[in-house]
Structure 1
């Protein structure tokens, strides 16, 4: 019986069928979680700041509402019934989801005029915090809501008007194809997918013979990273080695954890594993597979009103501080200095004097 999942399905009719139990109260679930964590009625009651008799009655009321027994009261010390033990994790998840849902509702009601920024999972962790810190240098007191999604979902959020800023990856083979009439696009910088492995596995793979097996942690073929690796790097590896797929996941952060314990080699974003590479927890396998270049791009929605003005200023700031703009300034400076050093320029300067 999946006890916790059935809580939301209880109705007034169900209550009547169990002897007219009182309506469920959230504090009963909090009480039960405290009982799970402390393993004692007295300790749980103290944590919940109620008397032990009152606490025991609330646990009994939860059992009445559920229609099942959670505590084996015939045994000492405290013993949970089998159905209670089997569903402890579900109870925890249920209570966490309730409070998370309440927090989301409160946040949305308070920040209804804020800016929603959608980002790919990896960039939400590795790039967005620094990006927001720089963006706040504009001096505007703006609220931001961050949505971490896969690429297709984050792009869809911008195009449906559910996000005002999108930070994502692009490759030449896989652009976002967002209309310039919908959003302003700027290149923020570059990242790369590097083939890496743990030190133990690296020691084995750096001298692997042609045709030997290579354990790999892979992305699904239909995911963005999966498509990027298959378009630019994986075929070369598969022609030379027997690829043994140890795990498939669209989450780079999950594959990173598996790579750290030596479960396989993986193409991982350099921005995500920068510290791992510096500390030697992961080592590059350049001899087995080359890196895949990714562009980090930002899209700013074109909107009317104050939010539109903020997005326009943000877009302009990004354009002025982007690597391409800085490279243009550097190139222009080099040209100017070269012209100043040229004989023709020197002659013109003397003639003016």
Structure 2
């Protein structure tokens, strides 16, 4: 099949005349007629009613004029994309839990755009299990997530690459009026209200395995709210609703300003890796991982 046949047919539909259509296509009328005949042979249906002294266009062709026009436009766009492909102009899909998007992704995106000028990102935020599903289905090119040694890293096949962006850690913090309950040793009473994680969430599983006070309902005597949404938990903690655990990178500014008080001296902290998973067959994903993991990151 010759794709130029569709342009011939569209010209014929616009001109409604074989001679004028042939002139627009810069070929003779007999040559144009042969190309239309070749299109009919490929299609298996005649699109012209060749009557004595006149030629009429089949209604089946006329009613599909817009589809033919759209097909030609799509093919031209595809040809341009292939011939002028530049990975740096790509749209990269990233699946990441809310905490990773809030605390890590902005810095990663800024660094990437300093080198990959035209790159754009499509971020899909969800809980970790849904993020993994999005990534494995191929709906995203990259998976960004936190990982703790107590739970271990995820195991994918050889077609997936794992690298580290950096390190972080979960710490217990308190804000609002509850700051005044903090003792000199950065301890608080065990009946202090808490914002806890569900046990089936990733942070909930990590804190449960480490038996962290105030981390989940299992280790809190006064859980006032349970949520896997770290950004929402942060706002509640800042408001003084309860003590809770958050990634340090998410709260270090508030700790420096005094809006939040870290309780890690009394209740410990949990080390986290910031992991990047990428599909090896996606060129721009590989390039981004190379770039992100070869440059120095700010300490966390």
Please give the TM-score of this superposition, normalised by the length of structure 1: 0.53
Paired residues of 2:208 and 2:215 also in contact (CA < 8 A): no
Aligned to 1:206: 183
Task: Structure 2: give runs of 5+ residues left out of the alignment.
Answer: 1-89
In the TM superposition, 1:314-329 aligns within 5 A as 314-321=288-295
Answering whether residue 259 of structure 2 is matched by residue 281 of structure 1, we say: yes
Give the CA deviation at 1:317.
2.1
For structure 1, the residue ranges without an aligned partner over 5 or more in a row are: 1-112, 327-353
Q: Deviations over 1:19-58 (max 9, x none)?
A: xxxxxxxxxxxxxxxxxxxxxxxxxxxxxxxxxxxxxxxx
Q: 1:293 to 1:274 in 2, by over 3 A?
A: same
Instruction: Kindly tell me the number of residue pairs found equivalent between the two proteins.
Output: 208
SS of equivalent residue, structure 2 residue 151: coil
Residue in 2 aligned with 1:119? 96
Normalising by structure 2, report the TM-score: 0.62
The DSSP-based 3-state class of the residue aligned with 1:257 is helix
Show the counterpart of 2:139.
162
Change (3 A) 1:151 1:218: same
Given that residues 121 and 251 in structure 1 are in contact (C-alpha distance below 8 angstroms), is that contact kept between their aligned partners in structure 2?
Answer: yes
Shift of 1:224: 0.5
Structure 1 position 290 matched with structure 2 position 268 = yes
Contact 1:236 1:289 in 2 (8 A): no
Distance 1:176 1:210, change over 3 A: closer
| Comparing 115-124 and 314-323, the one that deviates more | 314-323
Higher helix share: 1
Counterpart of 1:192 (choices 169, 172, 179) is 169
- Cα distance in structure 2, aligned partners of 1:281 and 1:257: 11
Q: Is the 8 A contact 2:144 2:277 kept in 1?
A: yes
Shift of 1:311: 2.1
Say if 1:300 and 1:132 are closer, same or farther in 2 by CA, change over 3 A: same
Confirm or deny: 8 A CA contact 2:96 2:125 kept in the other structure.
Answer: yes
Q: Is 1:309 aligned with 2:283?
A: yes
C-alpha separation between the residues in 2 aligned to 1:297 and 1:259? 26
Which structure carries more strand by proportion? Answer: 2
Inter-partner Cα distance in structure 1 for 2:182 and 2:200: 27
Tell me which residue corresponds to 2:86: none
Out of 240, 243, 246, the position equivalent to 1:265 is 243
1:243 aligns with 2:221: yes
Rg comparison, structure with higher value: 2
What is the CA-CA distance between 1:118 and the residue it aligns to? 1.1
C-alpha contact (below 8 Å) 1:233/1:289 kept by paired residues: no
d(CA) in 2 for partners of 1:211 and 1:267? 16
